[in-house]
């Protein structure tokens, strides 16, 4: 499948992403303005660009940690079985936590991660996803903040990959296979 030829059509420009991050950060500030430190937990690997832009727009004391979970492997379909490859390093009991996801698709990944982290008793925990594909949802879950709601398209760029490629595009694009009409 990954050998099929494809092109990438821009869906969300770098400028639109930057503008939306400013808006999201205003909301995050309002929620966490009294925090002594916010632990920003990025879900690897797709959120690495988003989290980098997000924390630089946040005028709050932050700590950055990462967790790697995966339900996709190298293909285009979620396996629904979420595996944790790398846990966060820090303790979050009694802390303020913001979980950062690239895309909420079926919702299994974020749901699983939220369950694991909630069990560690953070004081407050909120979730943010750059992209949301509500039509694909299989579990009843909504991130607290969403950058953009998108249709059921396979997207790449701004940290998001197709079989580990295209993460370095500065915009979000959708994959269009060129070997079909």
Positions marked catalytic: 105
Q: Helix or strand or coil: residue 34? A: coil
Residue of 102, 114, 169, 172 interacting with ligand IMP (CB under 6 A): 102
114 binds ligand IMP per the rule CB under 6 A: no
Stretch that binds ligand IMP, among 16-24, 34-42, 100-108, 117-125 (CB under 6 A): 100-108
78 binds ligand IMP per the rule CB under 6 A: yes
Q: Cis omega before residue 45 (within 30°)? A: yes
45 CB-near residues (< 8 Å, 6+ apart): 68, 159, 161, 167
106 binds ligand IMP per the rule CB under 6 A: yes
Stretch that binds ligand IMP, among 10-18, 34-42, 59-67, 106-114 (CB under 6 A): 106-114
Smallest gap, in angstroms, from Cβ of residue 21 to ligand IMP? 18
Smallest gap, in angstroms, from Cβ of residue 31 to ligand IMP? 23
Q: Which of 106, 159, 151, 87 is nearest to 130 (CA)?
A: 159
Let me know: does 122 contact 93? Beta carbons within 8 Å. yes
Q: Helix or strand or coil: residue 62? A: strand
Q: How many CB atoms lie within 10 A of CB 101?
A: 27
Which residues of the shown chain bind ligand IMP in the complex (CB under 6 A)? 46, 71-72, 78, 101-109, 154-155, 160
């Amino acid at each position: 499948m990954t050998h099929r030829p494809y092109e990438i059509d821009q869906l969300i420009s770098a400028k639109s992403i930057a503008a939306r991050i400013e808006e999201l950060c205003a909301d995050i500030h309002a929620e966490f303005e009294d925090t002594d430190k916010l632990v920003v937990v990025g879900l690897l690997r797709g959120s690495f660009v988003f989290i980098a832009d997000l924390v630089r727009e946040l005028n709050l004391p932050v700590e950055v940690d990462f967790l790697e979970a995966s339900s996709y492997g190298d293909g285009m379909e979620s396996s629904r079985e979420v595996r944790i490859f790398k846990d966060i390093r820090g303790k979050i009991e009694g802390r303020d936590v913001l979980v950062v996801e690239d895309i909420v698709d079926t919702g299994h990944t974020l749901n699983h991660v939220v369950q694991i982290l909630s069990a560690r008793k953070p004081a407050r925990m909120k979730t943010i996803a750059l992209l949301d594909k509500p039509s694909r949802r299989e579990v009843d879950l909504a991130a607290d903040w969403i950058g953009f709601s998108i249709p059921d398209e396979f997207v790449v760029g701004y940290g998001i990959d197709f079989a580990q490629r295209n993460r370095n595009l500065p915009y979000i694009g959708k994959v269009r296979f060129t070997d079909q009409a």
